[in-house]
């Protein structure tokens, strides 16, 4: 099972389908694994490179699992949407 932050945009598009990647080159899709179970993993994505001019309608937390059933437990902390820190200096 993999979890990830996803976004719906007002034009009906979804971040997961934009082939967006994080700063480590991992796709921003719930099916793309990253990090280790039981540990925190920082994920940064230059969303503006993939969704320039779009308006975010919803921020979603999504998971993808090959198992048809089961329990999911995950935590997300400090979601920030804005200019990259380097651009704010």
pLDDT in tens, 12-61: 999 999 999 999 898 888 878 777 777 888 888 899 999 999 999 999 88
Phi, psi of 16, deg, nearest 5: -55, -30
Mean pLDDT of the chain: 83
Whether the per-residue pLDDT at 89 is higher than 80: the answer is no
pLDDT in tens, 72-83: 777 788 888 887
- Name the E strands within the chain: 2-9, 56-64
8 A C-beta contact, residue 65 and residue 18: no
The domain segmentation of the chain, as residue ranges, is: 1-89
């Amino acid at each position: 099972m993999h979890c990830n932050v996803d976004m719906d945009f007002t034009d009906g598009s979804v971040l997961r389908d934009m082939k967006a990647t994080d700063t480590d080159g991992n796709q921003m899709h719930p099916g793309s694994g990253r990090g280790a179970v039981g540990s925190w993993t920082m994920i940064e994505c230059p969303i503006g490179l993939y969704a320039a001019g779009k308006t975010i309608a919803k921020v979603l937390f999504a998971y993808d699992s090959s198992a048809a059933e089961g329990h999911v437990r995950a935590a997300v902390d400090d979601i920030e949407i804005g200019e990259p820190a380097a651009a704010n200096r």
